[in-house]
Amino acid sequence: MRRARARELGLAPGALPPGPVNAITDVPGIRIGHATVIEAAGAGHGELRTGVTAVLHDVLVGREPAGRRTLPAGLAVFNGFGKMTGSTQIAELGTIETPVLLTSTLSVFRVADALLSYMHGLPAYAQAATLNPVVAETNDGYLSDIWARAVTAAHVRAALDGATSGPVAEGCVGAGTGTRALGFKAGIGTSSRRAVLAAGPAVTVGAIVQANFGGVLTVGGMPVPSSATRPAEPGSCVIVLATDASLGSRELRRLASRAFAGMARTGSNFSGRSGDYALAISTAAADVRVAPDAAVPVKDLDLLFTAAIEATEEAILNSLFMAETTTGYQGHVSEAVPLDLVSGRPGSRSTSGS
């Protein structure tokens, strides 16, 4: 059975509708790029199954609108056993000023340095006195030689320069090339939700995840146990949310925290050895005033919270269902979810959209 997204299998978590391509790129201006590293053992390293994924918005690379260099942002950390460069400045100032890159744990530092060099080479940042690169990670060391620190500046540039809108490659690509979750091969996944707010027009909340965490896969409230002889060890999950809703940093932090409910729905055990991070950004146009916290109606916030939960849950399922069985470092194998175990489950229904 070919790999398929959740909705192709009749699975549509939640009640809100997805955007046109059911991806974080349904949020206007968001683009996603990947660079995938797959190499056989040699040249002083073992098998490599790793990469980097870039989350961009034109504002963050010095493009239109002119003069705007930051976006409102909020960060939530469920368990902090991980690495995310730039996180304290986001928490302090409530803004983000570079694209977000996802990669392998020990490649974070090289990727952050490469991101700085890339940004400094852009006309808008040539005279910047300082910059706060945002890079997050999960550990792909079971399937990839993590100490090789194989992600280079060329890979970072390829992911950034190749970022596009529209459908997003999922599964074993970019930062998800070597990741595992819930006893199966996982990777990158994405989804979106549309919500009509009382205080304004319809808005979109999109999620992209790098899934690499422990627990028992749960689909529609029912477990799908893995038969792997060595189940996935406690790991991590990085979630990036984007929305065109006009929200300030405090409400974005609250929005980010709801993403962990999406993780819980898929069966995460939230191990104390995991690094679970969620970052939310608002891409509301520069001429749209970001609403003070008190000005956002509670009903609208509740709807956005629901959108974040549902989009995260489906993004994680997509990261698993689109991933393929992978053999990597030291002959380790991670099996893909058998899709016949999840297709047509109770609660499945005919769906529209991607």
Active site residue 274: yes
Q: What is the pLDDT of residues 197-238, one digit of tens each?
A: 987 789 999 999 999 999 999 999 999 988 766 655 678 999
Q: What is the pLDDT of residues 100-118, one digit of tens each?
A: 999 999 999 999 999 999 9
Angle between helix axes 249-265 and 298-321 (nearest 10 degrees) is 40
Q: Chain-centre distance of CA 230, in angstroms? A: 25
- Is this structure's pTM higher than 0.85? yes
Q: What percent of the chain has pLDDT over 90?
A: 84
Of 12, 1, 21, the C-alpha closest to 219 is: 12
Active-site choice (226, 236, 282, 354)? 236
**Cα Dmax for the chain:** 59
Active-site choice (144, 274, 334, 354)? 274
Q: Chain-centre distance of CA 104, in angstroms? A: 13
Q: What is the pLDDT of residues 270-299, one digit of tens each?
A: 998 889 999 999 999 766 656 665 567 888
Say how far apart CA 300 and CA 77 lie, in whole Å.
23
Q: Which of 90-104, 155-169, 232-246 has the lowest mean pLDDT?
A: 232-246
Q: Which of 125-129, 172-176, 290-294, 321-325 has the lowest mean pLDDT?
A: 290-294
Instruction: Identify the pLDDT of residue 350.
Output: 43
Domains in the chain: ranges and CATH: 15-332 (3.60.70.12)
Count the residues in the chain. Answer: 354
Instruction: Identify the pLDDT of residue 237.
Output: 97
Instruction: Identify the pLDDT of residue 285.
Output: 74
> Of all helices (H) and strands (E), which one includes residue 320?
helix 298-321
Active-site choice (144, 276, 282, 334)? 276
HSE (CB half, 13 Å, CA atoms) of 47? Answer: 16
Active site residue 276: yes
Q: Residues 191, 211, 100, 291: is their CA dihedral positive or negative?
A: positive
Active site residue 227: no
> Is 12:345 a contact under the CB 8 Å cutoff?
no
